[in-house]
Structure 1
Amino acid sequence: MKTTLQALVLICAAALTATACSDPTAGGGADTAPAAKVDPTAKLDGVKLTMWTAQNTVNAPRQVIDAFEKATGAEVDTQAIPDLYEQNVPTKLASGDKPDLMFWQPSLSTLPFIQPQQNLLPLDGEPWTEKLGDTEKTLGVIDGTRYAAIVTSPAMLGVYYNKDVFRKAGITEAEFPKSYDELLALGHKIKDTTDAAAFYEAGGDKWPMQWQMQVQLTDLDKQWWADLNKNKEAWTDPVVVEAVTTYKEKLLDAGLAQKNYRTGTFTGSADALWNGEAGMVLNVTSFQSQLQAKYSTEEINKKLGWFPVSNSTADGMYSPDQTNGVVAFRTGDEKRQNAARQFLAFWLDTDYEAYIKAMKIPSVQPGVPSPEGLPDTSKAQIKALPTANGVFQAKAIVAPDTHLYLAEMIYGKKTPKQVAQAIQDQFAQVAKAQGAPGF
C-alpha cells in the first residue's frame, strides 16, 4: 500500500524478461498438474531453504521455522529485503536471485509483479487449501491457479473508536453507522459535543488517507471492477470523483479531522485515539498491532472498540498485505521445491494452531479456533470478515498510489477531479506495462 508503482512500471518495462509482466489473467507457463503429496514431518537432513521477508516481518515465521527445523532436520534461512519491499523484490528477481520461499501480498494487484506463472510453484491440491476460510480462499489465485499459501488473515479495515469519547458524546452501540453518511454524522456529533477531533487523519504518512475514499467505493459491483480491469471503465467515473470530493469537503474542510491532519502520522493516530484526542480512526489491522505492542488486552478492551462500515451497509472491508501470503519458487532443484511445499504443509497443517497461538493472531482456518486472549477489537474483526468487501487492491489488476494524489489534494495542488485523473493515468500506465488486455 505504500509502494510507488512508477518504480514497478520501470521494472516491468525494462528489468524483467520479455514475459515478466505479462497479463495477470492469462494462463501459460505454469505446470498445474497436481504434485505428489508430501509428509509434513518427513526428514530433510541437509536441506537448506532460503526465505525472503520484509524488514518488519523477519521474525514473523520464527515459531514455525523453529518447529519445522526440529521436526525435519532442515534449515530455513530468513533474509530481510530492504524497504521498499515490494519494489526491491522484483529488482532482485530480475537480477537472477531467487529464494525458495517468500512473503508476498496475495492480491490481484500485487501478485503479478513476481511473474507467478513463470516463477512460482502452483499450490492447487495441497491438503491445506480446503481448510481456508471463504475469504482467504479467494486470495493468492491468478487465473484459477493458486500460487500463494494464506498463513494470516487479511487486514480488516474499520473504525477504531475511543469509548470515553463516545460516552461523552452520548453515542451508544445502537447509533453505530450503517453507511458512510451516518459515519460522518457520528463525526459531527463528536465535534459538537466534545473537545476531541472526530477523526485522526495521517496526511504526513499519506498512505492511511486512502481508506476514507475506499469505504465509499464499496457499492461498485463486480462487473464495474471487471470492466475497469479491461479498460471499459475508469477511475474518472463520477462515483470515484464524488468519493474524493466527499472526503475533502465533508470531512476535511468540514473540520472533522484534527487540526494538524496534513502532518499527522500513523503512530500519532494511535496515541491520539488512546488519549481521547480523537474519537475515531479509520484504519486496517496494522493499527491494532501497534496498540497490542504497547498495551495489554485488558487495557485495549477498556479503552477502545471497533465497528465495520461500508458506503451503504455496516459491513467491513478486508485488505491483503504481504504478511498474508507465502509463495514457493521454481528453483529447478526438485528436492528443495518439495521441501518448500513440505514447509507450507507443516505450517498450515501440523503447526498451525501453535503458530497462531504464539503470534496471537486470528485463524484463517474455520476448523482451527483463534487463540484465546485476543482483544475484543480483534474478535469483532474476525466476526466481520465473512461479509467484508475487498479493498481495491483485491479487485483491481493495479493498485494505484491514491494516497500520493490525495496528499497533493490536501495541499491544494490537485482538485478531486485531478486526483481521479491521476489515479486513472497511473492505473492505465501500469496495466499497459503488464500487457493487460484492453490497454
Structure 2
Amino acid sequence: MSSDRRRGVVTAAAAALCLTVAAGCSSGSGGAQGSTTADLSGPAPTGVTLTLWHNTADGKALLNLYKAYEKASGNKIEFFDVPADSFENTVQAKWATGARPDVLEYHGVSSAIRTLNGANTLVDLSSMPFVAKEGALAKVSGNLDGKTYAVTLGFPQVFGVYYNKTVFTKAGVKPPQTFADLKTVCQTLKTQAPGVAPIFEAGGSGWPPQILPGNYMASANENDAYAQSVVEGKAKVNDPGGPFVAALTAYDDLRKSGCFNSDANTAKYEDSLKAVYEGRAAMVAQHSDNVATFNTNAGGDTKKVDETIGFAGVSGGGSKAWFAPSPLGTYYVPRNQDTTKQRAALDFVNWISTTGYPDYVKQSQALPTMSGVTAPELQGLTLEIGKAYESSTLGIGSNIPGFNAFGSLAAQLLAGQLTPQEAADKVQLSVQQAIAAGK
C-alpha cells in the first residue's frame, strides 16, 4: 500500500469519524494511574525508552521528528506500528485489555477521548506551553470538557470540493459555493462537457460518500452548536425537518440528477483524484491531505497542479468548508505509574511542540498549527485550502458518539438502497446506543 493510500485510509477515518463507543473500551482503564496533570518541573529524564503507538501512515516529516527527538533527548522511541487499515479497531482493542503506550498517536476529536475513557486514563496537558500557541485549535483537538489532552502538530484535515479549472473554464462555469450551485454546475457540465463526470464519487471504497453530506452540514454546525444539541438530546439527527436529513436529501438529489460518475457505486478513492486531475471528472469532495496525491499525479509539478486544480468550500448555506483534527501528528500521554516514563513522555510532547516543531513544519510543507512559527513557502492549492479553513466549521460527527455508523450507510444511500430518512434513522439509533453506553 502506497503512503498516499495509507493516508487515505486514515483520513477516511477522520471523515467517517469511525470511533465506536462500546462499554468494553473502558474495561481496561481501571483506576487512575500516575499524575493526572502535566508536570514539567525538574530536569527531563534521559536514557529512557518510550513506547509509541503510531500510525503506519506517518509521513517522512513525522518519522524524522521522532529521530530528531531521540538525538536531542538521549531517549529512545520504541514503536508499535498501528496498521492504517485497522487504526481505530487496533487501538481500541489493545486499550480495552489495559495495555498502554507511553505516548499514543490518535484522533483528536472528543468522541475518541471518550472512547478511551480519557478523563480517567490520560494526562491533562492543559498547562503545557503548546496550548497557548495552538490557540483555538487546542479547544477542539484533543479537548474534552474544556481540558486539552493532546498536542496537535498536523494541520487539520479540511474537507471541500476539488475542481478542475480547465474543465470549468471550457464549460463556462464558476466554482460552486452551495449545493444549489453544485446542481446547477452539474446540469451545465452534462450539456457542455458530456464526456466528463460532473462529480466523482467512490462508493467502492466505502467512506467517501459521507463527505458531501458533511459539506452540506458545514453551514449548520457553527461553533459545533448542532452537534452539541444532538449530544444533549435537544435534537435528533433523524428529525425530518432537521439539517442532517436535509443534507442527505440534497445528496440524494445529486444522485437522482445524474451528477455522479456512472460507476459511482464501485469506483475507488484512488481513481477519483486522478480522474479530476486528468479532466475525466470535474469535481470530487475530499480532504486537504490529498494535495500530495495531486502532486504525485502531476509528477511532482506543483505549479501544474496549481494551474489545474482549485478548492472550494461548499455547504448548504454558502461557501464554507468543514474540518476534522488530523490523527497524524496528534499525541496523548496515558497516565503511567512509572513516573520517570511519564515525565519523559511529557518531555517528548514539549520538545516536538517547541524546539523540534519549526523543522517539522518545514519538512512537512504544511501550514503550522501553532503561532510564532513561519510557514514555509507553499504551493497555491495549499494556501487556498488554508484560507478555506479560516472560516470552516468542525465536522458534525466529530463530537457525536456513534456517528461511525454513517460510513456504510452513506454508501447505501448512494446505491439507492436507503432513503435519506431511513439512513438518518439508522444513524440516530447508533447515536442513541453510543450515548447510552457511555453513561
Settle same-fold status: TM greater than 0.5: yes
1:109–1:164: structure 2 CA closer, same or farther, 3 Å change rule?
same
- How far residue 378 of structure 1 moved from its aligned partner, in angstroms, is 0.9
Indicate if the aligned counterparts of 1:136 and 1:364 stay in contact, CA closer than 8 A: no
Aligned to 1:272: 275
Residues 26-425 of structure 1 mapped to structure 2, 5 A cutoff:
33=37, 35-37=39-41, 42=44, 44-57=45-58, 61-82=62-83, 83-171=85-173, 175-194=174-193, 195-221=195-221, 222-237=224-239, 238=241, 239-249=243-253, 251-295=254-298, 296=300, 297-372=302-377, 374-425=378-429
What is the rounded CA distance, in whole Å, between the counterparts of 2:37 and 2:325 in structure 1?
A: 27
Indicate if the aligned counterparts of 1:318 and 1:391 stay in contact, CA closer than 8 A: yes
When normalised by structure 2's length, the TM-score is 0.88
1:145–1:6: structure 2 CA closer, same or farther, 3 Å change rule?
closer
1:356–1:217: structure 2 CA closer, same or farther, 3 Å change rule?
same
What is the rounded CA distance, in whole Å, between the counterparts of 1:392 and 1:380 in structure 2?
A: 23
Whichever residue aligns with residue 196 of structure 2, its letter is: A
Indicate if the aligned counterparts of 2:34 and 2:339 stay in contact, CA closer than 8 A: no
Indicate if the aligned counterparts of 1:316 and 1:389 stay in contact, CA closer than 8 A: yes
Percent identical pairs in the alignment equals 25
- How far residue 62 of structure 1 moved from its aligned partner, in angstroms, is 1.3
SS in 2 for 1:185: helix
SS in 2 for 1:392: coil
When normalised by structure 1's length, the TM-score is 0.88
Aligned to 1:14: 24
SS in 2 for 1:401: helix
How many residue pairs were aligned? 419
Structure 1 residues 269-296: Cα deviation after superposition (integer angstroms, max 9, x where no partner) = 0110111000111111232232234432
What is the rounded CA distance, in whole Å, between the counterparts of 2:368 and 2:33 in structure 1?
A: 33
- How far residue 176 of structure 1 moved from its aligned partner, in angstroms, is 3.0
Aligned to 1:25: none
Indicate if the aligned counterparts of 1:305 and 1:376 stay in contact, CA closer than 8 A: no
Indicate if the aligned counterparts of 2:17 and 2:398 stay in contact, CA closer than 8 A: no
Structure 1 residues 166-204: Cα deviation after superposition (integer angstroms, max 9, x where no partner) = 121123xxx333322123222222222112111100111
Whichever residue aligns with residue 67 of structure 2, its letter is: D
Is the deviation greater in 262-271 or in 77-86? Answer: 77-86
What is the rounded CA distance, in whole Å, between the counterparts of 2:181 and 2:51 in structure 1?
A: 49
What is the rounded CA distance, in whole Å, between the counterparts of 1:258 and 1:391 in structure 2?
A: 25
What is the rounded CA distance, in whole Å, between the counterparts of 2:123 and 2:74 in structure 1?
A: 23
What is the rounded CA distance, in whole Å, between the counterparts of 1:128 and 1:5 in structure 2?
A: 25
SS in 1 for 2:310: strand
SS in 1 for 2:403: coil
Indicate if the aligned counterparts of 1:5 and 1:401 stay in contact, CA closer than 8 A: no
Structure 1 residues 312-352: Cα deviation after superposition (integer angstroms, max 9, x where no partner) = 12122112231142111112111111111111111110011
What is the rounded CA distance, in whole Å, between the counterparts of 1:310 and 1:369 in structure 2?
A: 31
- How far residue 235 of structure 1 moved from its aligned partner, in angstroms, is 1.1
1:80–1:181: structure 2 CA closer, same or farther, 3 Å change rule?
same
Indicate if the aligned counterparts of 1:202 and 1:269 stay in contact, CA closer than 8 A: yes
Whichever residue aligns with residue 188 of structure 2, its letter is: K
